[in-house]
């Protein structure tokens, strides 16, 4: 299955070949919508926190063991050594760190080499979603939409940072993948993203993953290709977010990991739909939604995500009494906890949501402290990768393609 298991897995075969880290620089991101909040600390302090996590990520999750000139991101807490979302995160993170890391371009090129060496069996312009510790594609060698969306977006960032006149034509590579996503990972009738290029059948063609509804990515795809199809995909998911919030989460604004019935009125998936008992809850996939919606709200004037993500922010601030330490690892859509304890993939994204609310400066500052002082875990690729990307946003280093 395409499940991400949030537990440690053995990666001894890849323990060597992890990458060294350089020093820091200053912010270089996309200007935010006027009124966007930022943490009440200096830019230097924000950049230092970002650099700390980036260095940790490189040292613990980036490996060169899969071939000469190849880089790959280890997913130590997944059920396979490498997963597609991790490679996408690696390209995006490294491209956005272009001004701060002289290795960044080599890392992007090396991860792209890994991705292209492992094509999906269903569409060779997409990435096979899982590889084992010997760098071999496994578990069907088909794709996962979240990974391909992120790989394409990261390549658009690479084009913005370095242009496409060098060894790698980042723009052309991105467009190649974007066109394949349209061809094989979007339901052409409903305009919803599918779960992967394996999911266009009776059981799954009318289902989707809410964390794949990334309005900023879809805007970038429309811009890069000149194809209004992507505006339709974005519009459809924006409408679905509002529908789900209104009908199933009027008090919280939370979204479910998986959504079904996308051919009529979308609704949360039933328990055990794909990954486990919390498939219809705000769990380990949907935890990314406040970040994904929030970043569009602060970079795209008039974004529908602004009001949607403020609902989430208002609820979590109230539910925790303004204490980030009380954010739990999953909730029902009505707001009761499903799993106890803190995890950065649940805490960090709410900091991006807080940036959208003019009345949340104190709450944002407390979230900043929680996120920037969290002790990273060398076995937690998922939480570390999300934390770095949230810190890119908080520190003003985020780039909208």
User: What are the domain boundaries of the chain?
Assistant: 12-394
The mean pLDDT of the chain is 93
> Please, which residues have CB within 8 angstroms of residue 357's CB and are 6 or more apart in sequence?
37, 310, 313, 314, 363
pLDDT of the residue at 336: 98
Question: What's the distance, Cα to Cα, between the start and end of the chain in Å?
Answer: 32
Predicted confidence (pLDDT) per residue in 41-51, tens digit: 999 999 999 99
pLDDT category, 190, cuts 50, 70, 90?
very high
**Torsion angle of alpha carbons 271, 212, 392, 387, nearest 10°?**
20
99 flagged as catalytic: no
The rounded Cα 137 to chain-centroid distance in angstroms is 22
Statement: residue 14 has pLDDT above 60:
no
Find the mean pLDDT for residues 351-362: 98
User: Of 47, 55, 77, 85, which is the active-site residue?
Assistant: 85
Q: What angle do CA 345, 2, 76 make, to 5 degrees?
A: 50
Confidence class for position 27, pLDDT limits 50, 70, 90:
low
pLDDT at 174 over 80: yes
Identify whether 339 is a catalytic site residue.
no
Name the residue among 332, 337, 193 with its Cα closest to residue 254.
Answer: 332
Contacts of 102 (CB under 8 A, 6+ apart): 22
Q: What is the pLDDT of residue 78?
A: 84
From CA 199, how far away is CA 186, in angstroms rounded?
Answer: 10
Range name among 18-22, 191-195, 342-346 with the lowest pLDDT average = 18-22
CATH class of 12-394: mainly alpha
Average pLDDT rounded to a whole number, residues 329-344: 96
The pLDDT assigned to 332 comes to 98
268, β-bridge pairs = 259
C-alpha gyration radius of the chain: 19
Q: Tokens representing 89? A: 């995160």
Q: How far is CA 376 from CA 110, 341, 387, 398, in A?
A: 25, 16, 9, 21
Q: Kindly state the average pLDDT of the residues 64-84.
A: 95
Catalytic one of 130, 142, 146, 159: 146
Angstrom distances, CA of residue 115 to CA of 4, 67, 146, 233, 261: 19, 12, 14, 25, 32
pLDDT tens across 81-134, in order?
999 999 999 999 999 999 999 999 999 999 999 999 999 999 999 999 999 999
The rounded distance, in Å, linking the Cα atoms of 127 and 141 is 8
3-state secondary structure the chain: CCCCCCCCCCCHHHCCCECCCCCCCCCCCCCCCCCCCCCCCCHHHHHHHHHHHHHHHHHHHEECCCCCCCCEECCCCCCCCEEHHHHHHHHHHHHHCCCCCCCHHHHHHHHHHHHHCCECCCCCCCECCEECCCCCECCCCCCCHHHHHHHHHHHHHHHHHHCCCCCCCHHHHHHHHHHHHHHHCECCCCCCECCCCCCCCCCCCCEEEHHHCCHHHHHHHHHHHCCCHHHHHHHHHHHHHHHHHHHHCCCCCCCCCEEECCCCCCEECCCCCCCCCCCCCECCCHHHHHHHHHHHHHHCCCCCHHHHHHHHHHHHHHHCCCCHHHCCCCECCCCCECCCCCCHHHHHHHHHHHCCCCCCHHHHHHHHHHHHCCCCCCCCHHHHHHHHHHHHHHCCCCCCC
Question: Facing residues of 18 across strands?
Answer: 63
State how far the Cα of 82 lies from the Cα of 150, in Å rounded to an integer: 15
Enter the tokens of residue 328. Answer: 């739990």
């Amino acid at each position: 299955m395409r499940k991400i298991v949030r537990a440690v897995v053995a990666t001894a075969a890849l323990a060597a070949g992890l990458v060294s880290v350089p020093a820091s620089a200053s912010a270089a991101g996309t200007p935010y919508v006027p009124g966007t909040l930022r943490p009440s600390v200096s830019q230097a302090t924000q950049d230092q926190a970002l650099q700390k996590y980036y260095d940790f990520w490189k040292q613990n999750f980036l490996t060169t063991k899969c071939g000469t000139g190849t880089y790959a991101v280890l997913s130590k807490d997944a059920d396979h050594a490498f997963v597609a979302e991790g490679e996408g995160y690696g390209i995006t993170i490294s491209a956005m760190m272009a001004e701060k890391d002289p290795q960044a371009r080599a890392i992007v090129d090396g991860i792209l080499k890994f991705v292209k060496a492992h094509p999906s069996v269903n569409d060779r312009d997409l990435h096979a979603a899982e590889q084992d510790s010997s760098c071999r594609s496994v578990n069907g060698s088909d794709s996962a939409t979240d990974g391909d969306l992120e790989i394409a977006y990261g390549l658009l960032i690479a084009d913005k940072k370095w242009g496409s006149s060098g060894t790698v034509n980042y723009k052309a590579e991105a467009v190649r993948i974007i066109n394949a996503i349209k061809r094989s990972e979007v339901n052409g009738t409903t305009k919803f993203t599918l779960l992967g290029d394996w999911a266009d059948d009776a059981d799954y063609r009318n289902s989707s993953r809410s964390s794949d509804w990334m309005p900023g990515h879809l805007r970038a795809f429309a811009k890069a290709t000149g194809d209004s199809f992507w505006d339709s995909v974005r519009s459809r998911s924006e409408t679905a977010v509002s529908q789900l919030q209104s009908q199933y989460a009027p008090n919280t604004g939370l979204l479910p990991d998986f959504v079904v019935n996308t051919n009529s009125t979308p609704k949360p998936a039933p328990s055990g739909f794909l990954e486990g008992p919390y498939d219809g809850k705000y769990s380990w996939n949907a935890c990314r939604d406040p970040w994904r919606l929030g970043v569009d709200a602060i970079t795209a004037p008039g974004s529908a995500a602004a009001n949607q993500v403020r609902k989430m922010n208002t609820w979590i601030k109230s539910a925790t009494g303004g204490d980030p330490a009380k954010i739990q690892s999953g909730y029902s859509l009505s707001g009761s906890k499903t799993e106890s304890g803190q995890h950065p993939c649940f805490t960090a994204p709410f900091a991006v949501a807080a940036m959208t609310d003019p009345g949340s400066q104190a709450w944002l500052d407390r979230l900043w402290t929680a996120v920037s002082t969290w002790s990273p875990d060398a076995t937690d690729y998922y939480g570390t990768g999300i934390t770095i990307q949230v810190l890119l946003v908080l520190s003003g280093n985020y780039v909208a393609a």
